[in-house]
Structure formats: C-alpha cells, structure tokens
C-alpha cells in the first residue's frame, strides 16, 4: 500500500504540473476527518483555483477526470468523489488496502524505517551527577532519550547517545564529606553532619542508606568499576580525595546498574571537569571576548545575551574568578558542534528552561558557525508516584525520593518505560503503581502486549509456516474491521516520521494503543482459524502483519513484545 500511495502521489504530481507548472512539488494526500469519506483526501483543486482563476469545484471535476485516466488511479482507486467547495475524496480498491499486509510481512523489522541519510545526531540525556541513585525523573529522561534515539534511527540518522555529568564541584565535595563522616561512625542528625550553606537550618542532605554502603565498601578497600571509570579505595578515612573518587565511581556503578535494569546504554560519558582541564571553557570565553560580546561590570564579566533575545545580560565570570554554570554548557556545545554533530537534542528537566536562551546566545555570540536554535531541547516535568492510592515520596535507599530501581522492582521495566512515555514530556504525570501491575485492559502496556501475545497464540495454534504468508491470496480481507486494521497498519511509517520530527515518542504509545484496539475489534468480529483454507490464510497474514508492527513499535519504546502472557 505504501508503494501504491507513492505511485498515486506521482500521478497526482504529474497532473498538477500539467495544470500549473511547478505545482507538482506540493502533491500530498491528507487523511479525511471522517473515515466514511474515504481513504485519502486531496485539496489541490482548492489551492490552485485562485491562481488559475477557476471555480474550485469545477476545477476538481476536471482534475478527477484526468486522474481517473492515469494508470495508477485506474488500477488502485475505486472512486473519486468531490465534496464541499472542492475537496477530492479518494476511495481505494480493496486490493490496494490489502497490499500493506504483504509489505509488512516482506519487510519485517525494517517496516517503517527509512534509508540511511548520512547525518549524525547526538542525544544527551539522563546526565545525572553521581551523588545518589537515579530517581523517577531520571527514569522519565532515560525513557524519553532512548526512545527519541530509536525514533531517529528509524529515520536513517546515525545516533550517538551521550551522558554528561559533573565529577567535581560543591555537590561532589558534599558527597565526599558525607561519606567520610559515615566512615568515621557518624550519622545524619549528629552535630557534625554537613549543613547546606543555602539552608543552614537543614541537616538533611545525602542522608540515604547508600552513603553508609559507600563508606563500608571504602573501609573494606574494595574496587568499584563503572562504564567510564574504575577505582580502588585506600581505606584511609582521612584520605578525602580517595573517598571522593571512590564515591563517584561507586555511584556511577550504581547508575550503571539502574540503566542496565532499564536497558539503556550510552556511547560516551562526558565529564564537566574535562572542559576545564582541556582548556575548552577558557577557549569559549576567549571567543566571546574576541567577538566583542562581553563587558566588565561590578567586578564581573558579562555576556551580551540580550543581543540574542535573552531577557537580560548574564554574568559569565563572577568576581571571585569562578564561572557561572551556563559557561561550561556553552563550551560543551561548541565541542559537540566541533565533533560534527549538526543536530543535537538535550533531554532535561523543566528546571533547565531558564538556561536555554543564555546557552543559545553564547553559542551564537561565539561566532563558530553554529545555527540559531541549536541545540534542540526536550523538557520534561517530574513524576508523581502513587501506590495504594497515596503518593510515595521517600525511598529507604535514597532517603528523600523514589528511585528508578524502586519503580522497576515494584512493576517492570516494560511498564515503567511505556507509562513514562505515554504523555507529552511537558505535561504532569502521575505513575500509578497499582495500575502498572494490573493484567487487564485498563493497563495500557498490558493491552498492547496482550494483542501481540494473542496473535502469537493464534499463529502457534495454526502451526503453519509464517514465512509463506506474504504470498497468500489476500482478497478475502474484505470486511470493514479488516479494512480498518489494514489502514491502521499503513499509518505506521508516517507516524514514525512525524514522531521523530517532533521528538515525540508519546505518539508511538498512542498509535500502538489504537492498533491494539483495531486488532481486538477485528479478532472479536472474525474467526481466524476457519475451515476455508484461503480465508484462513488471508486472515493469518493480516494478524501476522499486525504482530510485526506491534513488535516494531514496542521496540522503538524499548518495550518487549511477549509471545505469551
């Protein structure tokens, strides 16, 4: 059907060029708002009527006559109907709709994917500093980032997954101090426990049990290995630098375990400290100064970010000689550009919204050829977790929040991924633990996975050769339910393309629920394993194609497609 659609579009383009040279580049089909109106809609007559100074409905009639005479429309179109002021509704022949089944079965796991485009995209996500376990917000980021990477891959991009984190600074020093005190036998609440300078009345940071775990392993002289580092503890409680390095490696290892449980992998871990040791921060600042985009005031160095749409100029270098936190971000993104990534997507929490304008301003001001709007940002809200009808806020391990591993252990990797991707990133989301473990149609991931498992059960009961199904006669697929299911299958490639362009994996979850619904309706309407061999094989081909598209879509989300449930 996709090949048929391309042939019909080519015929449409040729006829448009005949009416108005150059108009063929705008050849397009739309989906009718009402399914009963047809399979495709065309507004070309209405668009061309004014420049051609013709009545749009009369032009549509002329246009329909010429389209009916083309080989593609004659072979695959059942009817062309004019509606309203000049809409053209197109009804396909049953054979045209049935071809999608063959296309899916022949292409298998590659159905919906586009050819390689020789372009690279870097997606930065999770990027949690190694100061504690990954929380549910990191989980939403991990699900979003991985799914967006998978979407780009379906469109032919070469995808690079990157994790950026700070391995130094105040938070890491606080981690080291907290671990050292635990190693010396102190605990949260003791008078010597670290106090947050921003909130002197508070003694409640890094209080989780994981700090004691780090201290115990440090005292035991253990070696910890993460994906990007390895370190052996000295065991000396007065060796604060060793404690710091051990704690960072320990928590990076813990994060790796979280990500492994979530089945997320990264191509590269980028350290904020490397931006300083490599001279990239100083180099970025020098570029901004040389470009005349900075000035000194009140003992600080400022960026003229208002020149690039920011609401006010921003301090780059404070009076004490330290850089504000957006400066290394600018240096980091210059490095991304210099590494050849012309497209970059950052997945971050809503609290990073204020940094977007100043980072983009710094990149424009640096004058290194980076285009406006670089990089892209996908911002997400935090996640509320509800269990037993009550909000859960505390984790025994973390001390102050629910961890990603908690959520996976309470439900499953599949449920966490699907649920966290089921809403637009910038909308509030409540994760209902009880719903995520239910095995009924109210649970969206169960609903979709059950459709796949149900089909696999039918194919197993049949016991025939699935590889032979692409060649069967599909003419028996003539019911309204079968037609609806085939049209839903045909929407998959365009949905993938739109979801990738919009960096919107929630579109995939919506589509899969609709496809599962179409399948369940079909299954309820027609028996598949009937006595008539030709009818049985045609129906088996349709459901096998449906299972393939369900599996393909679930794979984009990083969710399994079980054969049994």
Question: What's the CA gap between 502 and 448, in Å, rounded?
Answer: 23
H/E stretch holding 87 reads strand 87-92
pLDDT at 200: 54
Report whether 524 contacts 449 (CB < 8 A).
no
pLDDT at 502: 97
Domains, the chain, ranges and CATH? 2-92 (3.30.1360.70), 278-380 (3.40.50.620), 383-436 (no CATH), 441-557 (1.10.730.10)
**Angle, vertex CA 389, rays to CA 384 and CA 395, nearest 5:** 50
Give the SS3 label for residue 228: coil
What is the C-alpha separation between 555 and 190, in angstroms, rounded?
49
Q: How far is CA 113 from CA 121, 128, 507, 549, in A?
A: 17, 31, 16, 11
3-state secondary structure of 82: strand
What does the pLDDT look like over 386-400, one tens digit per residue?
999 999 986 656 667
Query: Residue 261 is inside which H or E element, if any?
Result: helix 240-261
CA atoms within 13 A on the CB side of 357: 14
Q: Which two tokens stand for residue 343?
A: 């497209």
pLDDT along the chain (565 residues), means of 10: 87 90 87 82 90 90 93 94 92 93 97 95 96 92 98 98 91 91 89 65 69 96 96 97 96 94 96 95 96 95 94 93 93 97 96 92 96 96 94 71 92 98 95 97 97 98 96 96 94 96 98 98 96 98 98 98 95
Give the β-pairing of 294-297 and 300-303: antiparallel
pLDDT number for residue 196: 59
Measured over the CA atoms of residue 426, residue 122, residue 372 and residue 129, the dihedral's sign is positive
Output the CA torsion 57→59→65→70 (10° steps). Answer: -130
């Amino acid at each position: 059907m996709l090949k048929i659609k391309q042939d019909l579009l080519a015929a449409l383009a040729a006829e448009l060029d005949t009416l108005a040279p150059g108009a063929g580049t705008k050849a397009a089909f739309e989906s009718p708002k009402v399914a009963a109106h047809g399979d495709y809609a065309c507004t070309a007559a209405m668009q061309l009527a004014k420049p051609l100074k013709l009545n749009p409905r009369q032009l549509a009639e002329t246009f329909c006559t010429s389209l009916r005479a083309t080989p593609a429309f004659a072979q695959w179109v059942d009817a062309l109907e004019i509606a309203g002021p000049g809409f053209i509704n197109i009804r396909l022949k049953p054979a045209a709709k049935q071809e999608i089944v063959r296309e899916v079965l022949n292409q298998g796991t590659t159905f919906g994917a586009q050819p390689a485009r020789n372009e690279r995209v870097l997606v930065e996500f999770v990027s949690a500093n190694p100061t504690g376990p990954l929380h549910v917000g990191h989980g939403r980021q991990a699900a979003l980032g991985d799914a967006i990477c998978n979407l780009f891959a379906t469109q032919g991009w070469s995808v690079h997954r990157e994790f950026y984190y700070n391995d130094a600074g105040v938070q890491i020093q606080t981690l080291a101090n907290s671990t050292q005190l635990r190693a010396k036998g102190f605990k949260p609440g003791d008078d010597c426990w670290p106090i947050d300078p921003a909130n002197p009345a508070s003694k409640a940071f890094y209080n989780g049990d994981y700090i004691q775990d780090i201290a115990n392993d440090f005292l035991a002289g253990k070696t910890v290995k993460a994906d990007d580092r390895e370190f052996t503890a000295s065991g000396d409680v007065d060796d604060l630098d060793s404690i710091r390095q051990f704690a960072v490696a320990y928590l990076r290892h813990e994060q790796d375990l979280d990500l492994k449980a979530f089945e997320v992998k990264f191509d590269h871990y980028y350290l904020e400290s490397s931006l300083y040791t490599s001279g990239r921060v100083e180099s970025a600042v020098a570029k901004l100064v040389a470009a005349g985009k900075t000035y000194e005031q009140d003992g600080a160095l400022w960026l003229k970010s208002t020149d690039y749409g920011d609401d006010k100029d921003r301090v780059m270098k404070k009076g004490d000689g330290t850089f504000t936190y957006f400066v290394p971000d600018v240096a980091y993104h210059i490095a991304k550009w210099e590494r050849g990534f012309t497209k970059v997507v950052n997945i971050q929490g809503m609290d990073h919204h204020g940094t977007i304008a100043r980072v983009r301003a710094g990149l424009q001001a640096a004058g290194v050829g980076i285009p406006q709007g670089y990089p892209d940002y996908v911002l997400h809200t935090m996640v509320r977790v509800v269990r037993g009808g009550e909000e859960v806020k505390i984790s025994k391990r973390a001390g102050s929040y629910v961890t990603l591993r908690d959520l996976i252990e309470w439900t499953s990797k599949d449920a966490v991924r699907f649920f966290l991707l089921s809403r637009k990133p910038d909308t509030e989301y409540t994760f209902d633990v009880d719903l995520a473990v239910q095995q009924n149609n109210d649970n969206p991931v169960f609903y979709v996975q059950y459709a796949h498992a149900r089909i696999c059960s039918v194919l197993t009961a049949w016991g025939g050769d699935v590889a032979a199904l692409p060649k069967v006669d599909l003419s028996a697929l003539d019911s309204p339910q079968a037609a609806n299911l085939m049209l839903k299958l045909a929407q998959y490639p365009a949905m993938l393309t739109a979801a990738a362009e919009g960096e919107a994996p929630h579109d995939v979850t919506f589509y899969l629920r609709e496809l599962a619904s179409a399948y369940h309706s079909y299954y309820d309407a027609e028996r598949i394993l009937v006595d008539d061999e030709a009818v049985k094989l045609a129906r088996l081909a349709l459901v096998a194609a449906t299972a393939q598209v369900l599996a393909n879509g679930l794979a984009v989300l990083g969710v399994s497609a079980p054969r049994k449930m």
